[in-house]
Structure 1
Amino acid sequence: MRPSRYALLTGALLTAAAASAQVQPPPAGGQAPPPAAPTPPPAPAAPAKSVPYGAGLKVNLSPDGSKYIRFLTWHQVYTRYTKNNEGTIRALGKPQKGQVDFGLRRSRLVILAQLNPRFVIYTHMGINNQNAVGGGLTPTTDGKKPQFFIHEAVTEYKVNKYLSLGGGLHYLNGISRITSASTTSILPMDLPLTNFPTIEQTDQFARWLGVYAKGRVGKLDYRFSVSDPFLTNQTSNPLNLGTTVNNVNTGTGIATYSPQNTKHVYQGYVSYNFLEPEANLLPYFTGTYLGTKRVFSVGAGFLYNKDAMYSRPTSSVVTVTPAVLANPFGLVGTDKHSLKMFGVDAFYDVPLDTASRTALTLYGVYYNYNMGPNHVRFIGPENPGYGAAPTRGNAVPQSGTGNSFYGQVGYLLPQKLLGPKASLQPYVAYLHSDYEGLHYANGDTKAVNVYDAGVNVLLDGHNAKVTLNYRARPDFEGYVPTTGNFNRLDYKPEITLQTQIFL
């Protein structure tokens, strides 16, 4: 028993000593000791460089991210000096030779969702070409309250790794690579509307209602579509295809879009990538990769629309009577013409020096358009001119029966020029078109040449950039739509500063 008592006594003494060590007596004077200084939180490490933007504003709907919804939005804002084409009016009854104006070239929103790797749905909305005098409810005379409309509304099903099928209001165009261009990553400030030859006539801002098949087999990418043509927004009947003198209407021999076009539109584009493959989830082709990929692609495409155009030869002579006015389609004969459009192109985009981050971008395309006899159409993007005159403002011959070539060259300069926060990409672009319906009074045709030179200031790649562009464009003074004649060719300048934010 004695050893047990010693053990209990020893344990009690140790416990008391430990408790006494943990309880400190208050200091003299009864004041508590000052609190210890808090430990400062560790400073976050500064990022070595800007993190790439990646997939956009993405919300995962499943833990592994296989189900998601993405939001993409961008604005392109213009500050521009334009020397107007001869005879331009800036407001009702106010001729104006030139001006500095401001405009919204594009404002867009894309919503993309994928429920699983086989199903994709996306919607593309926005406005285009709004300035103080145009692009609004009445596009040629009103700039206020532009129509916020759907550009694309597509559902798509992936059959296998080689084939996807889709339908809706789509952008799966034929003819060329830049006929389905991504407007956020183009090399120059803008693209010529020559690559959208039917824009706002048989399509909805280069989009179509139809179905498509797309995919990739090895290094070969393809897209084919069948669509309905939209009824043309041109007010036209067989008498509009002629001129009336003393109650006699004589055909002009110039084709225009037929208001009776209901035949399907067939399109396709096939390309072969010799180097790295390109993403093809969405229909938009990248204009310049800024040295992030090595791409060499050669392609060819087409668009065919039977009886899309109509005309009356100069031998067609009709006496205008009340019966003819009441039923011109039944009593005035016309010739039908099919839209036949072809293109071949090549795109080369590679980094040159990875250490200095230099890169080269080259693109060239040849178009052959058959749009009926003597057809020529003038368009000016975000036109600063007032009214419906085809040559107003900054309009140039955008499409027509004939041949066109468009090329562009860009060089991404070394990163060290402006430091780590920005880089420069100068470029030049050139459009050459020969249209049979654009000529002097003696019948001699004249080529359309448009020259662009500029520089992209890339603050965060394509997601934040500023572009300064100089354009010399042809002004076909005295152009008469009913004959195709013009009096004089002059070149007018445009200087544009574009800011782009893309998130």
Structure 2
Amino acid sequence: MINVRYPLVMSALLAAATASAQVQSPPAGNPPAPAPAPQAAPPASEAPTASVPYGAGLKVNLSPDGSKYFRIINWHQVWTRYNKNNTGSQRVAGDPESSTFDVGLRRSRVLIYAQLNPRFLIITHFGINNQNAVSGGVGIGDPGKKPQLFIHEAMVEYKVFKYMNIGAGLHYQNGVSRMTRASTLNFLAYDAPITNWPTIEKIDQFARWMGIYAKGRVGKFDYAVSVNDPFATNQALTPAAQPLNVADYNPRNSHKVYQGYFAYEFLDQEANLLPYQTGSYLGTKRVFNLGAGFMFNKDAMMSRTGAVPVPTPADPFTSVPNKLQNLGILSADLFYDTPINKDAGTALTAYAVYYNYSFGTNYVRNIGILNPSTAGGSSAIPGAGTLRGNAYPVVGTGSSTYLQAGYLLPTNTLGEKARLQPYAAWMHGNYDGLKAIGSKDVNVYDLGANLLLDGHNAKFTLNYRARPDYSNPQDVNYRPEITLQTMIFL
């Protein structure tokens, strides 16, 4: 106790002495100290300047000339949404909800890429997608918790010569269309239509492939081709469990997947170091591209063609009538992005794509992005999957068309600190499986606007969607979705 009191007493005495010295009068006979000189007025603050372009962002040079470097990109896209659910949807089993207001993580990602020199490139991309309070996680008994942090891309690339780079690993050098290779950082609309990733989470891993690729540019001609292994999928499926004459992914598929995309760049050339295609340049480039692509996978699909024997045999693959069918996709697209009036800062962005899908007999697939429901929503479309929440027929054997256009308003519309870019989009799906049951084609309408606080690096997007509800395929009704996306990437 003495050891504690001693330093406390000494500290108090020192503090008192210091305070006394600060307030005591000057000694007699000495003139008082002169008053301090008046302080100079602080310099006038400079007028605010325009936002500095983001440029290379979080880039670290590893050599004086910058030939060796790495860059880190981090982004979050948060959705606050009102959704009118499909008929019969339940938030969780036993909790029916005709509409939902929720918050979710559409994407939360980190991308790192580095170059030892212009001949070598490495990309590492990881993150999560589509987590809300009821789904997207892997918690035991709590399906919305602890979403799976997984590798999106892990690839290495080597420049063989001027016109060709080759790479391998888990990659995003996709075929089919420009939007199949889309960057999620600079969409024009609030999200992709998902028709652009027609095999997502089936024979690919979240639109990524395990394989090898070649890419390059010859003059104004840009290309990317790849050979990949299909991921094993539908492992519990047998022909005995399939609807009659409705194809699904073949669980015994081991054939390579071939794909490619080719584009001719009539005006400005786009960067092709990374595989991510820009959605809107906000008037910084004049781009006019025509593109075409393909995907092919032999015997990727399987369909039952006859009755299932009773009792069901031990090996239904050999005893239940079935056939294997190839998966083939073709596309053609057009992308146009140009400043309209550079002084006013206006710009136009437009994109159009046509897909021809061959997934086998009457194949249709329902998908609901960041689905707010986990139960209910029965579907009368054979083999298409549930129609809970916001799901609808997104892809299928047949064709689809997607159009979008946006206009960047003048810089003085909202003042110096923000820009406004309204847009509209339309997706049309013409699928054999819907025709087979006498249902209508798919139409999805989007109308929205981007509020750009610092270009695409910091923005809000407000989107209104009219979405078809196929709970009764002979009487399709349209349900509204209103989504506010908050996005920042650094």
TM-score, normalised to structure 2, is: 0.89
Task: Tell me the equivalent position of 2:144.
Answer: 143
Against the structure 1 CA distance between its residues 142 and 187, is the aligned structure 2 distance closer, same or farther, given a 3 Å change threshold? Answer: same
Q: CA deviation at 1:320?
A: 3.0
Partners of 2:309 and 2:320 within 8 A in 1: no
Task: Give the aligned residue type for 1:172.
Answer: Q
Distance in 2 of aligned mates of 1:186 and 1:234: 35
Task: Tell me the equivalent position of 2:368.
Answer: 380
Partners of 2:234 and 2:249 within 8 A in 1: no
2:446 to 424, 431, 452: 452
Question: Could you list the per-position Cα deviations for residues 329-370 of structure 1 after superposition, in whole angstroms to 9, with x for gaps in the alignment?
Answer: 232232001110000000000000011100000100000000
Task: Give the aligned residue type for 1:179.
Answer: T
Q: CA deviation at 1:468?
A: 0.5
Q: CA deviation at 1:158?
A: 1.0
Task: Tell me the equivalent position of 1:292.
Answer: 284
Runs of 4+ in 1 over 6 A off after TM superposition: 28-44, 138-141
1:320 to 293, 310, 317: 310
Structure-to-structure mapping, 1:333-352, within 5 angstroms:
333-352=321-340
1:471 to 465, 485, 490: 465
Structure-to-structure mapping, 1:244-263, within 5 angstroms:
252-263=244-255
Partners of 1:272 and 1:299 within 8 A in 2: yes
Question: Could you list the per-position Cα deviations for residues 385-417 of structure 1 after superposition, in whole angstroms to 9, with x for gaps in the alignment?
Answer: 113861010001111000111000100000101
Task: Tell me the equivalent position of 1:219.
Answer: 220
Q: CA deviation at 1:444?
A: 3.0
Task: Tell me the equivalent position of 1:420.
Answer: 416
1:462 to 424, 436, 456: 456
Question: Could you list the per-position Cα deviations for residues 146-171 of structure 1 after superposition, in whole angstroms to 9, with x for gaps in the alignment?
Answer: 10000000100111221111010000
Task: Give the aligned residue type for 2:283.
Answer: G
1:398 to 394, 406, 415: 394
Partners of 2:440 and 2:474 within 8 A in 1: no
Partners of 2:307 and 2:320 within 8 A in 1: no
Partners of 2:60 and 2:70 within 8 A in 1: yes
Task: Tell me the equivalent position of 1:14.
Answer: none
Bigger CA drift: 383-392 or 32-41?
32-41
Distance in 2 of aligned mates of 1:52 and 1:156: 29
Partners of 1:368 and 1:403 within 8 A in 2: yes
Distance in 1 of aligned mates of 2:340 and 2:235: 49
Structure-to-structure mapping, 1:185-334, within 5 angstroms:
185-233=186-234, 235-242=236-243, 252-313=244-305, 316-321=306-311, 324=313, 326-334=314-322
2:195 aligned counterpart, secondary structure:
helix
Distance in 2 of aligned mates of 1:105 and 1:140: 22
Task: Tell me the equivalent position of 1:79.
Answer: 80
Partners of 1:201 and 1:234 within 8 A in 2: no
Task: Tell me the equivalent position of 1:59.
Answer: 60
Q: CA deviation at 1:488?
A: 1.7
1:501 and 2:488 are equivalent in the alignment: yes
1:85 aligned counterpart, secondary structure:
coil
1:438 aligned counterpart, secondary structure:
helix
TM-score, normalised to structure 1, is: 0.86
1:415 aligned counterpart, secondary structure:
coil
Q: CA deviation at 1:48?
A: 2.6
Task: Tell me the equivalent position of 2:24.
Answer: none
Partners of 2:200 and 2:207 within 8 A in 1: yes
Partners of 1:152 and 1:169 within 8 A in 2: yes
Task: Give the aligned residue type for 1:499.
Answer: T
Partners of 2:139 and 2:146 within 8 A in 1: no
Partners of 1:436 and 1:445 within 8 A in 2: no
Q: CA deviation at 1:477?
A: 1.8
- Percent identity among equivalent residues? 59
Q: CA deviation at 1:31?
A: 8.7
Task: Tell me the equivalent position of 2:403.
Answer: 407
Highest CA radius of gyration, 1 or 2? 1
Distance in 1 of aligned mates of 2:375 and 2:61: 48
Structure 2: give runs of 5+ residues left out of the alignment.
1-28, 379-385
Q: CA deviation at 1:489?
A: 0.6
1:330 aligned counterpart, secondary structure:
helix
Task: Tell me the equivalent position of 1:107.
Answer: 108
Q: CA deviation at 1:321?
A: 2.7
Distance in 2 of aligned mates of 1:43 and 1:229: 65
Distance in 2 of aligned mates of 1:417 and 1:119: 44
Question: Could you list the per-position Cα deviations for residues 227-272 of structure 1 after superposition, in whole angstroms to 9, with x for gaps in the alignment?
Answer: 0000014631111124xxxxxxxxx100000100110000000000
Question: Could you list the per-position Cα deviations for residues 197-256 of structure 1 after superposition, in whole angstroms to 9, with x for gaps in the alignment?
Answer: 1000000000000000001100000000000000014631111124xxxxxxxxx10000
Aligned residues: 454
Distance in 1 of aligned mates of 2:106 and 2:299: 33
Partners of 1:83 and 1:97 within 8 A in 2: yes
Distance in 2 of aligned mates of 1:64 and 1:136: 44
Q: CA deviation at 1:43?
A: 7.0
2:445 aligned counterpart, secondary structure:
strand
Task: Tell me the equivalent position of 2:343.
Answer: 355
Distance in 2 of aligned mates of 1:205 and 1:108: 13
Distance in 2 of aligned mates of 1:32 and 1:64: 58
Partners of 1:141 and 1:387 within 8 A in 2: no
Task: Give the aligned residue type for 1:235.
Answer: A
Question: Could you list the per-position Cα deviations for residues 265-314 of structure 1 after superposition, in whole angstroms to 9, with x for gaps in the alignment?
Answer: 0000000011000011110000000000000000000000000000012x
Distance in 1 of aligned mates of 2:374 and 2:315: 33
Structure-to-structure mapping, 1:159-174, within 5 angstroms:
159-174=160-175
1:137 aligned counterpart, secondary structure:
strand
Partners of 2:438 and 2:474 within 8 A in 1: no
Task: Tell me the equivalent position of 1:24.
Answer: none
2:369 aligned counterpart, secondary structure:
coil
Distance in 2 of aligned mates of 1:226 and 1:282: 18
Partners of 1:153 and 1:169 within 8 A in 2: yes
Partners of 1:221 and 1:270 within 8 A in 2: yes
1:188 aligned counterpart, secondary structure:
coil
Distance in 2 of aligned mates of 1:288 and 1:295: 10
Task: Tell me the equivalent position of 2:178.
Answer: 177
